[in-house]
Structure formats: structure tokens, C-alpha cells
Structure 1
């Protein structure tokens, strides 16, 4: 609407100037007629006639010149007229090249980008009330269509390979050593020992008949069955008693387990052989089909959670709004961070806009070439026509003054 209003204002100004130029030319015609009619009685009117005649010639000449820029005067096929319509492609190429070489060059763009202080402007804009939330909402609104448009299979494979590669870069032995050290510090390794005791007790108690049968089958044929049964029961009872004794804090086997864990921690931290075995174990775990399937499922689960959070709540919006508000504060206080942002902006211009400036120029030239000829003429006349009407007015007045001067000199020296 603003553009249409501006065009309407220009068109009205152009029409006023055209009427002024035509009116001035008409006044000169009337002055010439009046001077010719009264010159016999009033000889001094010859000066007015000379002025009017020369003004008419100057006004018509400049009307022809201005009109010839945009169309053929009176529709006549006069050579070198309708200059703009006949040179539309050259005009488009010239505009495109001019913009590309004079406005999009590094020497022009980079100083301008640096003077803008993008980091400072971003800080000021984000610090204004509502802007951080507005930016967060716009960013969030762009995420679901972008995520939904992505093909799952390539993303799954990329994340799987990236995660697997990242895991392979992690040294397994030092990590295992640190984990075990944390477990030992909290006494969790003994909890694991107790779990093992409980599992063993439940296994023995739940499989006593199978144990009795196995002992009988392994016993010699000449040993009576009742002896085998009593022996089997005593073995099972002994195992259960031993397991109960191992629950005591100072049981030798319990202490031995603790010493073994400490030794394993040291071996993982310093022994090359233990570290090599840990790496082999890590590679086997990463290569396991179940682990590979889990890594591939990361994208699907991440996508599901992300889309659900974006559609059902404001948690991400609040978090992003807070992050953007915090960024505004940091940009305001941290000069180095502002310089980093300004450097990003300069590099973006240098690597994105400057290498493609010829494409921008070609785009602009193509737009001009594709314009309808009447549209191009109308746009250019609307922009420059008012100033060109001054040429007609000046031509009328200057022509009249030259004619007056010539007539005066001829009267003096004639």
C-alpha cells in the first residue's frame, strides 16, 4: 500500500510538471502571435517576438528529446527514438553489473558490515520487551516443518555412524577405571557382590532336585543311593552356609573381591594389556547388532520427543526465550563476544554474498529484461519524468533568452 501511495504521489507530480511545461509552451505561442499582431504599431514587440519564437523552438526541441527517451514522438518511426524500449536488455545488464561491481564488492560491503555493529544491534533488539520471545517462537515454528521434511533413513545412518565413531574415540580403559573408582568410593561394588550372592542362593535353592540328581549320576555305582542323597544335601547346605558367611563384611572372599576390584582399577588405568582388552571389548559392544539398532533409533526417538514437546507445551519456548535473553545480556557486557558476532557477520557476507554478487547482478538484469516494455517505460518515467520536464521548461526559457540575445545583437550591429 505504501508503494502504491508513493507511485501515486510521483504520478501526480509528473502530471503537474507536464502541464507546467505545456502551459509555458502555449504561453510562448500566444506571446508570439500577440507580438506579430502588434509589432507594426509597437516596434519594441519585436523583442518579445524573438524571445517567444526561440522559446517555442527550444521547448519543442526538448519535448522531442525527452519524449524520444521513452517512445516515438507522435508515433513516427524517427531513428534513435524510443531509446529505453529499444535498449531494455542493455539497461538490465548495465543495472545488474553496476550493482554487482559497485555495491556488492568486498571493499564496499565489509566496512559497512563492520560499522553496523551487528552484535550490538542484536543485543539491543533482544533486550527489548517481547523480542526474545518473538524470536524464540519464530525459531520454534520453523523446526517442525524442517524436521518432518527430513528423510529419516539418511539421518538415522548419519547419527548412528557419528555416535559409533564418537564412542570409538573414547578410551575405554580409563573410562572404566574411573567408573569403577566411583563405584568403590560409594561402596556400590559391594552391593554388586551382594547381588551376586543373592542370585547364587536363589539358584541353588530353586534347583536342589537337579543338583541331587546330578550328584547321583556322577557317583560310583557301588555307592548306595541314600549315601548320595545325604552327601548331596550336605553339599547344598554347605554352599548355602558359605554364601551366608560371604555376606559378612570381613569375610575373606569378600575382602578378596574388593582387592580384585582395586587391582582391576589399577590395571585399567596403567596396564597396556588390560587397556588393549578393554578396547577389544568396547569394539565388540559397539559392533553388536543390538547396540547398532539402538544407535539407529536415536533419531526416531529424538524426533518424536522434539515434536511432542513443541506441540504440547511451552517448555522449549521458555528455555529458548531465556537463552536469547541471556545472550542479549552477554553481548551487552562482553566486548569480545560482540566482536565474535561481528566477525561472523563479516565472514557471512564475505563467503556468501560476495562470491555470488554476479548472480545477484544477473538476477536483477533478468528481472529488467523480463519486464513488459510498457512497464519498464512507466517505471522509469515515473522515477525520472518529473525531472525531465524541467529540461523542457529550461529549454523553453533558455531558448527564449538566446533568441532575445541574437535579436538584440542584430538590432545593434545590423
Structure 2
């Protein structure tokens, strides 16, 4: 006997399919029983009865035979009819692995062929549709929300001390083993060439001048105190005032004159430092040594987790607020990208080509692995589960074969009996 099905193994959809299958099975079986009962009743009344009884009996008999034959054929797909191991029955359980292989080959030939996938993508106009969807406010907002969820999930990992520890070791170890001086030199060289440091020099000159003005008395007392003991007091004060005034004048000149010699000296110093960081072995070794010492300092290790937590908190605040500047900017940029993808034909063609190449590479490279997923999944199913899964999917439609067998058989029996009567 067939083992009962555990309802906990079935999904809600499978349970609904099972109910429908049972209902259709009952209908097909009931129709077969009706044909059998009619055959028994009419057979007993055929002798001496009216002519139509013979026709009805022949139709019932042929319908019963057709229904039984189709019941046997449908049942033989999934199990041995009545539990009897008739040859060439229980086809799906016996041929499960071969069916899985055939299914994989069918999918590979008809769905995962590179030319088929490329043609489908080309006809689908994926980039145009994506652009049309993105340029709508709700589309761009939806993508922004999904990105925010991804960021939230990633930020949640940063609560784990082990994850933070791995990041700390990876970052600081790389910082301690990589020579950073040449990179710093190239960066500084670029900054000097672009004049990006001039704003910082302006700020430093302004603050220096303001500090000198604000601390006049303290500086005069300090300079006077440094004078030799043998010099007169009045001379010390005059010299200090003169020196202080010169310092203020120089600071004001540097602040106000973009072409001041001091500024040029700073530019030359930074340019030379940039070259030394890239070319001078002693400078490179000294800077890298300081970086390694910094990476190994316990205070840096203690501060890493705090920096990660602060960054995580700031990031979450930005992505959790639907009205944050970050989310608005991302949404606007996505909408602008969507408009370009829909309106800019050359860009769209370029993106379509890249998508086709990417998908084509994935299909051609990993096609066998994808097909192995199908065959291995089917191979992992036991025979009874495989038959049950297939029967739940197609069994309801197969019951119509039984119904048709009974009905068509009855009509065929009626025709055959009529022909026999005509031929005497």
C-alpha cells in the first residue's frame, strides 16, 4: 500500500493542489463506476429487451474498458497500479534520475543557450524599460529604499565584535605592511600642482596674524625675558617691540599678498617633500616606520571600534531618514540616470551590449553548473517524493485523460455496435 503523505511536507499551494487532485480523481473514478454499473444492469436486460439496450450496453462496456485503460496508464506514471509491479509501470520513480538529466538538457538547450539568452535580452529592451521605470519618482524611491535595506543589513554586521575585530586586523595590518609614503608623495604632488593647499595657507596666515595681534603683551614679555642680563631694560623693550612689529608685518604680508616670498617658499618646500616621499629612501623609510608604529599603537586599536561604531551610527541616521539629503540625492541621481537610459540611444545601446556580454559570459561559463543544480536537486529527491511532486503539479490535468477515455470509449463502443448491426 502507498504510504500516507505527511501534510507538513507540503506547502500551502501543494495542499490546495492535493485537494483539487483528489476531487478530480473522485470524479473520474465515479464516471468509471457509473459505466461499470450501467454495463452490469444493461447486460442483464439485453436478452429480449429493446434494441436501444444493446447500444447502451455496448457504450457502457466500451466506456468502462476505456476508463480502465486510461486509469492504468495514468497511474502507471507515478506508481504500480494496485501495488502490482507490472513491467513498465511506476515510470517516474524508476526513471527519476534520467528525467532530471533530460530536464537539465532541455533547459540547457532551450533556455540557457547563449544565442537564445542574447536574443531574448535584445528583444526585451531591458535598459529602456529600466530607464522608464527609474525615471518615475516611485521607481527611483523604490531602488533607494532597497539600497537603504542593504546598507542597514551591512551596518548591522558592524555590531558584531568578531566582525569589527576582523576589519580592524585587516585594515591595520595592511596599513602596517604597505608602503604609504609614495602614495602620500603622489597625492601631495598633485595637491601642489593644483594649488589646492593655498586655501589652507590662507587660513594659517590669517590665524597666525590674528594670534600675534591678540597675544602682543605675552609675546613682548617672552622676548624681553630672553634678552641678555647685561643689556639695559629699555633696550630690551625697544628690540622686542621692533621684533614683534616685524613679525606682525610679515604675517600680514603673507596673509594679504598671494605672491609673497613666504608662500613661494612653502610651495617649494611641499614640492620637495612630495619628491622625497616618492624618491628619497631615507624619507620613505622614516614615514613608513612612523605609520607602522601608529598602526601598532594600542590606542589606535582601541579607537578603531569607536570609529566604526560612529560611522555606522552616522550612516544609519542618513539612510533611515527618508528626507535625508543623502537619500534625496540618491533618488534624484537614479531618476536622472533613468531619463538618460530612456532618452540617450547611444548610451542605451552601450549598456545593452554590456548586459548581453555579461549575461552571455555567465551563461557560457556557468551553464554546466546551473544545469547540475537541476540534475542534483532531482537526484537528491527520493523516488516517492518525486512522483508526489510531479503528480501534484500535473495530476489534475491527467484525470481528464481518464474522463475522456471513458467518454470516448463509450462513443466508440456505440459506433462499433451500430456498425456491427448494419453489417448483420
Q: Same fold (TM over 0.5)?
A: yes
Structure 1: gaps spanning 5 or more residues? 213-228, 269-273
Residue 192 of structure 2 is aligned to residue 175 of structure 1: yes
Q: Is the 8 A contact 2:134 2:335 kept in 1?
A: no
Partner of 1:327: 333
Equivalent position to 1:304, from 291, 296, 309: 309
Question: 1:193 offset after TM fit, Å?
Answer: 12
Question: 1:383 offset after TM fit, Å?
Answer: 1.6
Partner of 2:4: none
CA distance in 2, matches of 1:177, 1:203: 40
Question: 1:367 offset after TM fit, Å?
Answer: 2.5
Partner of 1:145: 156
**Correspondences of 1:105-120 after superposition (within 5 Å):** 105-106=113-114, 107-108=116-117, 110-111=121-122, 114-115=125-126, 117-120=129-132
Question: 1:411 offset after TM fit, Å?
Answer: 3.2
Question: 1:138 offset after TM fit, Å?
Answer: 1.3
Question: 1:141 offset after TM fit, Å?
Answer: 1.7
Q: Is the 8 A contact 1:54 1:403 kept in 2?
A: yes
User: TM-score, normalising length from structure 1?
Assistant: 0.72
Residue 267 of structure 2 is aligned to residue 261 of structure 1: no
Question: 1:72 offset after TM fit, Å?
Answer: 0.4
Alpha-carbon distance change, 187 to 377 in structure 1, aligned in 2, over 3 angstroms: closer
CA distance in 1, matches of 2:294, 2:124: 47
Q: Is the 8 A contact 1:55 1:400 kept in 2?
A: yes
Partner of 1:30: 37
Partner of 1:290: 290
Partner of 1:215: none
Structure 2: gaps spanning 5 or more residues? 1-7
Question: 1:393 offset after TM fit, Å?
Answer: 1.9
Q: Is the 8 A contact 2:135 2:339 kept in 1?
A: no
Q: Is the 8 A contact 2:97 2:379 kept in 1?
A: yes
| Alignment length (residue pairs) | 384
Partner of 2:374: 364
Alpha-carbon distance change, 187 to 85 in structure 1, aligned in 2, over 3 angstroms: closer
Q: Is the 8 A contact 2:65 2:409 kept in 1?
A: yes
User: TM-score, normalising length from structure 2?
Assistant: 0.70
The Cα offsets for residues 170-196 of structure 1, whole Å up to 9 and x where unpaired, read as 35286178367557777928947996x
Partner of 2:5: none
CA distance in 1, matches of 2:201, 2:69: 103
Q: What SS is found at the alignment partner of 2:195?
A: helix
Partner of 2:18: 11
Q: What SS is found at the alignment partner of 1:77?
A: coil
Q: Which structure has the greater CA radius of gyration?
A: 1
Partner of 2:106: 98
